[in-house]
């Protein structure tokens, strides 16, 4: 299909790192338009439908809508337009990997708005956004670390809302951290650093952070006590840890607020827990 290509994608997405993270839809990509004279994007529209190379990935059956949209013959993403720089356009939500070709770009117009359109409920996403909003005002301190930051969605929000503090994000893969840095740069957020590392061995000195957040992350770990001990090491004695975990989504072990409470107490924290919208909110301190 290369002869039909009208542009190329630039980001840090690869088959490997997209497999684990449908969270990529929060990320920013650059699209370079080539050999097309007319303006395909304009600031009149906030959203566009972009047709691009498909991902060579198979998501599990529970996420079959991703397979249908992004992993068949071609991929189709609805993206939010950010801005342009020459013939390069920045968009959020493109589910295509670095180097993918673009075949078509269509504004998402009032013609596309369908009255009473039905969508399968994505309550997890909604609950996560609400939880972000609840947690951010509680975070106070000069240095904040977000462990298991994924694509940096929460991390960048924290830094944008608190421009006078230093915010750090850590996650396993350097390629993810590159994408996080790109997201922050395009959003114009400067008070933030992304570092590759594991929750089991955080690349920071002892007692460095005032606040540490772990969002929808601890249930991914085989050894939660080890991570809690390591988080405690990099937390100041006056520091606080804010954790949000889904109750109805888990990998090996389902944990209720009381299970989290016990894990924190066993790791040497004082702890407050509460349950809201099928989420455990845990605040740990020393
Ligand atoms: C469900 S995602 C949540 C991402 C982000 N906190 C958010 O809410 O958007 C879980 C994240 O935990 C990360 N993760 C898993 N094991 C980890 C470890 N040992 N150390 C650091 N991050 C880890 C994964 O790579 C993934 O990005």
Q: Is 71 in the pocket of ligand 1 (CB under 6 A)?
A: no
The whole-angstrom separation of Cα 79 and Cα 108 is 9
The whole-angstrom separation of Cα 94 and Cα 13 is 10
The whole-angstrom separation of Cα 116 and Cα 125 is 21
Q: Is 217 in the pocket of ligand 1 (CB under 6 A)?
A: yes
Q: Is 23 in the pocket of ligand 1 (CB under 6 A)?
A: yes
**208 within a domain of the structure (yes/no):** yes
237 and 278 inside one domain: yes
183 and 264 inside one domain: yes
104 and 130 inside one domain: no
171 and 98 inside one domain: no
CA of 75 to the centre of ligand 1 (A): 25
The whole-angstrom separation of Cα 183 and Cα 173 is 16
- List the chain pLDDT tens, one digit each, 286 residues: 556 899 999 999 998 898 877 789 899 999 999 988 888 998 899 999 999 999 999 988 988 889 999 999 999 999 999 999 999 999 999 999 999 999 999 999 989 889 998 887 767 888 888 999 999 999 999 999 999 999 999 999 999 999 999 999 999 999 999 999 999 999 999 999 999 999 999 999 999 999 999 999 999 999 999 999 999 999 999 999 999 999 888 788 888 999 999 999 999 999 999 999 889 999 999 9
Q: Is 192 in the pocket of ligand 1 (CB under 6 A)?
A: no
pLDDT in tens, 60-96: 898 888 999 999 999 999 999 999 999 999 999 999 9
pLDDT in tens, 2-30: 568 999 999 999 988 988 777 898 999 99
The widest CA-to-CA distance across the chain, in whole angstroms, is 64
274 and 223 inside one domain: yes
Range of the domain at 268: 123-285
**118 within a domain of the structure (yes/no):** no
86 and 177 inside one domain: no
The CATH number linked to 261 is 3.40.50.150
């Amino acid at each position: 299909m290369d002869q039909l290509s009208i542009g190329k994608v630039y980001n840090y997405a690869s088959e490997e790192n997209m497999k684990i993270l449908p969270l990529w839809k929060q990320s920013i990509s650059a699209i370079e338009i080539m050999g097309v004279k007319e303006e395909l994007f304009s600031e009149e529209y906030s959203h566009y439908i972009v047709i691009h190379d498909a991902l060579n990935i198979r998501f599990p059956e529970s996420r079959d809508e991703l397979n249908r949209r992004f992993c068949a013959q071609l991929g189709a993403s609805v993206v939010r337009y950010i801005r342009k720089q020459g013939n390069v356009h920045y968009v959020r939500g493109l589910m295509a990997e670095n180097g993918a070709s673009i075949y078509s770009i269509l504004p998402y117009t009032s013609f596309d708005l369908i009255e009473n359109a039905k969508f399968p409920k994505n309550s997890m996403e909604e609950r996560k956004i609400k939880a972000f909003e609840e947690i951010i005002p509680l975070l106070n301190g000069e240095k904040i670390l977000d462990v298991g930051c994924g694509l940096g969605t929460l991390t960048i929000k924290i830094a944008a809302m608190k421009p006078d503090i230093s915010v750090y994000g850590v996650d396993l893969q350097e390629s993810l951290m590159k994408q996080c840095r790109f997201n922050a740069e395009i959003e114009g957020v400067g008070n933030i650093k992304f570092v590759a590392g594991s929750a089991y061995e955080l690349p920071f000195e002892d007692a460095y952070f005032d606040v540490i957040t772990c969002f929808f992350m601890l249930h991914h770990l085989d050894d939660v006590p080890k991570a809690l001990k390591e988080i405690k090491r990099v937390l100041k004695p006056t520091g606080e840890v804010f954790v949000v975990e889904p109750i109805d989504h888990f990998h090996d072990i389902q944990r209720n607020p009381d299970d989290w409470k016990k894990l924190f107490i066993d790791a040497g924290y004082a702890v407050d827990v509460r349950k809201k919208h099928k989420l455990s909110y845990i605040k740990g301190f020393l």
